[in-house]
Amino acid sequence: MNNTLTTIILAAGKGTRMQSAKPKVLQTLADKPLLAHVLDTCHSVNVDKTIVVYGFGGEQVKNAMADYQLTWVEQTEQLGTGHAVKVTLNELPVEGKSLILYGDVPLVSAETLTRLKQANVSGMSMLTLTVDNPFGLGRIKRDEQGNILAIVEQKDADEQEQAIREINSGIYCVDNALLHKYLPNLSNDNAQQEYYLTDIVKMAVADGIVISAIEPEHEFEIEGVNNRQQLASLERQWQTKLVEDLQVKGVQFADPTRVDIRGEVTVGQDVFVDVNVVFKGKVTLGNKVTIEAGCIIKDSQIGDDVHIKPYCVFDEAEVGNEATIGPFAHLRPKTVLANNTKLGNFVEIKKSTIGEGSKVNHLSYVGDAQIGANVNFGAGAITCNYDGVNKHQTTVADHAFIGTNACLVAPVTIGSAATVGAGSVITKNVEENALAIGRGRQVQKSNYKRPEKKK
């Protein structure tokens, strides 16, 4: 028995109602293209081959999905879902099974797809849902024993069929042999004059195949996106689910409706997240982390007992235990903060390591630097790491004291326990335990008369 699994993803639509130059499947939900959501889910269920049917903006779609291993098939005419699947037949294996998915239905879960595959015991299974308002959707028609007979589209349904509340999601798991048998025989003799994929259900019933149906855990798993309003609604449903998952793990949110998760967040115990916080990419939070309002944290690892004050921005940063950061601090890529470090107001760190117990408290920039342990970096002090062409390294050894408004012109090394006087411009290395002052001598002129405007 051939157990290989293929995925056919229909992604040819233009998405006219989006009013966008981008194809619909490249619109983003949780900061990721709709199609990428589907592809990532397929990857998690160990699909052997993925076929993507493309049309409008095909080159854009291909370029955006370049990191995935995909087989591309073009649908040059939009003649319905049945036609879209039919154009894949030259690439579709004759044996095995196929999941039929949609690039604009992004949130079907891996668990649901696994159940759908397992439900296909006689050749075909499908995802359905019982809803309060089925208007506009294909109805699942069953016999008295509950067996599926057909799917009836809204425009083709009579009054009795329109009263049916079980609807078709359009998501199937079908034996490839049946697809090769049925798709060439589809007809467009219907109100829409399209080739309905749903007609393969009627063909399977005629062949005596018992079609299994399962329902997803969440209704949003089968929701498609056709306009900005639907995209915004689906975004909120997805964010609610992601926040609830973190609440189950013990995270306390000041307001669960005012946080966005645009990636994966791993958490320890007793984490507190204030309002308007945004997580992007892969973020790890240790135990007893406090994140105050308005912070943006992307691709970062945060240790235990860290306090992040309001309106900080993290990007590819690594923070040790018991650090205090902000408010208004900016940690740029390749920033590493050791344990017990402290960053204060309007401090920017880039591609630098701040050693254990060190402080950069006010209005400072540290770039391309190695700062040792227990260093005090004074208010307004900066590393001058860029000469207009190249970046250079600054090294500050343990226990050094960098005075207010000092400029460390790289490449330069400040020795252990050295002191740099306030307002100094340091262009040469400073020895350990030394005091370095690099500023002009103060001059005073008594009874100075200021210039006056000419009358």
What's the mean pLDDT in 238-253? 97
Cβ-proximal residues to 405 (8 Å cutoff; 6+ apart), any chain: 378, 379, 380, 381, 422, 423
CATH, domain range 5-222: 3.90.550.10
79 three-state secondary structure: coil
Model-level pTM greater than 0.95? no
Judged against a pLDDT cut of 90, whether residue 235 lies above it is answered with yes
Q: What is the pLDDT of residue 321?
A: 98
- 3-class secondary structure for 41-55? HHHHCCCCEEEEEEE
- Predicted pLDDT at 450: 87
* Residue carrying structure tokens 């117990």: 357
> Residue 126 — pLDDT band, cuts 50, 70, 90?
very high
Question: According to the model, what pLDDT value does residue 1 have?
Answer: 60
In this prediction, residue 78 carries a pLDDT of 86
Of the pLDDT bands very low, low, confident and very high (cuts 50, 70, 90), residue 189 is confident
CA distances 109 to 40, 169, 249, Å, are: 10, 14, 20
64: left (phi over 0), alpha (psi -120 to 50) or beta: alpha
| Residue-wise pLDDT tens digits, 257-305 | 999 999 999 999 999 999 999 999 999 999 999 999 999 999 999 999 9
Could you tell me how far CA 59 lies from the centroid of its own chain?
Answer: 22
- Bond before 451 cis per omega within 30 degrees: no
Task: Say which residues have a Cβ less than 8 Å from residue 211's Cβ, sequence separation at least 6.
Answer: 122, 124, 125, 126, 147, 148, 201, 204, 205
> What whole-number distance in Å separates Cα of residue 355 and Cα of residue 337?
7
Torsion, Cα 190 193 196 198, to 10 degrees, reads -20
Is the predicted pLDDT of residue 44 greater than 80, yes or no? Answer: yes
Residues 156/244, Cβ–Cβ less than 8 Å: no
Q: What is the mean pLDDT of the chain?
A: 95
73 falls in which pLDDT band (50, 70, 90)? very high
Token digits for 422? 């306030």
Contact 91, 72 (CB under 8 A): no
Is pLDDT above 80 for 11? Answer: yes
Position 159 scores a pLDDT of 87
When pLDDT is averaged across residues 325-338 and rounded to a whole number, the result is 98
- Is 83 tagged catalytic? no
Residues with Cβ < 8 Å from 194, sequence gap 6 or more? 79, 80, 81, 82, 83, 188
Return the closest-CA partner of residue 167 out of 127, 207, 197, 200: 127
According to DSSP, residue 154 is labeled G
What's the confidence (pLDDT) of residue 36? 98
Do residues 234 and 29 touch, judged by C-beta distance below 8 A? yes
Annotated catalytic residue within 43, 218, 362, 392: 362
Residues 321 and 269: their CA atoms lie apart, in Å, by 14
Question: What is the C-alpha separation between 243 and 239, in angstroms, rounded?
Answer: 6
- Let me know the angle formed at the C-alpha of 374 by 370 and 378, rounded to the nearest 5 degrees: 80
What does the alpha-carbon distance between residue 15 and residue 172 come to, in Å, rounded to a whole number? 23
Q: Average pLDDT in the 140-167 region?
A: 90
Q: Are 362 and 342 in contact (CB under 8 A)?
A: no
Q: Which fold has domain 250-436?
A: UDP N-Acetylglucosamine Acyltransferase; domain 1 (2.160.10)
User: What's the first-to-final CA gap in the chain, in angstroms?
Assistant: 103
Whether the per-residue pLDDT at 193 is higher than 90: the answer is no
Residue 288, token pair as written in the block: 């007893």
Report the distance separating Cα 339 and Cα 111, nearest Å.
40
Domain boundaries, the chain: 5-222, 250-436
Nearest 5°: phi and psi at 233? Answer: -65, -45
Residue 190 scores a pLDDT above 80: no
